[in-house]
Amino acid sequence: MEFRAAIFMAILLCSSIPSSFAQNHKSPPAPATVSLPPSPAPAPSPRHVDLGDLLSVAGPFHTFLDYLEKTDVLKTFQNQANNTKEGITLFVPKDSAFASLKKTTFANLTSDQLKSLALYHALPKYYSLAEFNKLSTLNPVATLAGGDYTLNLTDDMGTVHVKSMWSNPKISSSVYSTRPVAVYEVDRVLLPMQIFKSDPPLAPAPAPAPESSHGKKPAADSPLPGKSTSADAKADKKSSSATPASGIVGGGYFVLAASALAAGLLMMMM
Ligand SMILES: *[C@@H]1O[C@H](CO)[C@@H](O)[C@H](O)[C@H]1NC(C)=O
Ligand SMILES: *[C@@H]1O[C@H](CO)[C@@H](O)[C@H](O)[C@H]1NC(C)=O
Ligand SMILES: *[C@@H]1O[C@H](CO)[C@@H](O)[C@H](O)[C@H]1NC(C)=O
């Protein structure tokens, strides 16, 4: 008798399980979350990329880094990177870009002008390379130097150019690009008209002409298509080798998980 009753119960249970499963399908992990709290999840205090470290190992960008340190603008940049939602985009000239200018170019600048010049190389917002497309419709684009210190961004067949009054360098490489910090290498110093009133103070020796003609050529004929793809590959390689901070994304997931957990606990208390 008892045996029969047991079988009956078992059959009853078995037949009721599928439907209850189906009903609870949306919210089964409630008991599972209870076991999670004791796990020692470390508080994900966001780790910020150190711009000084980054610029000292990439490039070479020693001249620009020297200016950033001398003018204290490095702190301004780092603060923008650490403490704003918008983030920062840097255009960093290579040492060779400074070398191509006359040595005396910056000799007579006041410390305020040097500061503005350094700040002129940054946008107060993070932009991925892809986003420059949209940005070019917003020209002129404000820089951290403020006021009339603006840049014009143009996308020429996938090559982004950053135009100041006296130079129009292309972005030659993506050094680092993980929200909220983007660092792009440029092959010329950005020279605003607010500081340089007259002719481009270029050193006489190197001819910058071949660069601009080379930028337009791919539109007309096809012998150069390999060129841009290899440049892209190089940029990809560089940016992928410099993305240790993608853990920030994981931090975001953690916050989500934590709030889901809190919600689960609340429901259990009710
Ligand atoms: C930026 O954050 C790093 C660590 O995440 C910290 O060491 C540094 O002092 C911060 N700098 C500023 C200017 O907030
Ligand atoms: C810097 O100022 C000095 C004296 O005022 C002047 O002789 C020199 O030409 C200036 N140099 C530059 C690069 O403007
Ligand atoms: C940027 O574009 C605006 C409008 O198209 C123009 O007035 C300005 O002179 C340009 N600035 C530079 C630095 O080329």
Q: Which of 91, 139, 195 to mutate to test the pocket of ligand 3 (most atoms within 8 A of CB)?
A: 139
**Cα 221 to averaged position of ligand 1 atoms, centre (Å):** 49
pLDDT for the residue 41: 61
Ligand 3 atom 8 nearest Cα: 140
Q: Which residue has the higher pLDDT, 61 or 13?
A: 61
Is the CB of residue 107 below 6 angstroms from any atom belonging to ligand 2? yes
Q: Which residue has the higher pLDDT, 150 or 207?
A: 150
Ligand 2 atom 10 nearest Cα: 108
pLDDT higher than threshold 60 for residue 153: yes
- Give the angle 198-139-147 at the CA atoms, nearest 5°: 60
Q: Which residue has the higher pLDDT, 148 or 249?
A: 148
**Cα 51 to averaged position of ligand 1 atoms, centre (Å):** 10
pLDDT for the residue 37: 53
Q: Which atom of ligand 1 is nearest to the CA of 50?
A: 3
**Cα 207 to averaged position of ligand 3 atoms, centre (Å):** 24
Is the CB of residue 80 below 6 angstroms from any atom belonging to ligand 1? no
pLDDT in tens, 63-105: 999 999 999 999 999 999 999 999 999 999 999 999 998 888 8
**Cα 81 to averaged position of ligand 1 atoms, centre (Å):** 9
pLDDT for the residue 18: 47
Q: Which of 72, 78, 84, 181 to mutate to test the pocket of ligand 1 (most atoms within 8 A of CB)?
A: 78
HEC string of the chain? CHHHHHHHHHHHHHHHHHHHHHHHCCCCCHHHHHCCCCCCCCCCCCCCCCHHHHHHHCCCCHHHHHHHHHCCHHHHHHHHHHHCCCCEEEEEECHHHHHCECHHHHCCCCHHHHHHHHHCCEECCCCCHHHHHHHHHHCCEECCCCCCCEEEEEEECCEEEEECCCCCCEEEEEEEEECCEEEEEECCCCCCCCCCCCCCCECCCCCCHHHHHHHHHHHHCCCCHHHHHHHHHHHHHHHHHCCHHHHHHHHHHHHHHHHHHHHHHHHHHC
Q: Which atom of ligand 1 is nearest to the CA of 45?
A: 5
Q: Which residue has the higher pLDDT, 130 or 125?
A: 125
User: Residue 131: what residue type?
Assistant: E
What average pLDDT score do residues 1-29 get?
Answer: 49
Is the CB of residue 108 below 6 angstroms from any atom belonging to ligand 2? yes
Q: Which atom of ligand 2 is nearest to the CA of 107?
A: 13
Is the CB of residue 206 below 6 angstroms from any atom belonging to ligand 3? no
pLDDT higher than threshold 60 for residue 198: yes
Task: With cut-offs at 50, 70 and 90, classify the pLDDT of residue 140.
Answer: very high
Is the CB of residue 70 below 6 angstroms from any atom belonging to ligand 1? no
Model confidence pTM above 0.75:
no
**Cα 197 to averaged position of ligand 2 atoms, centre (Å):** 14
Domains and CATH numbers, the chain: 51-245 (2.30.180.10)
Q: Which atom of ligand 2 is nearest to the CA of 104?
A: 13
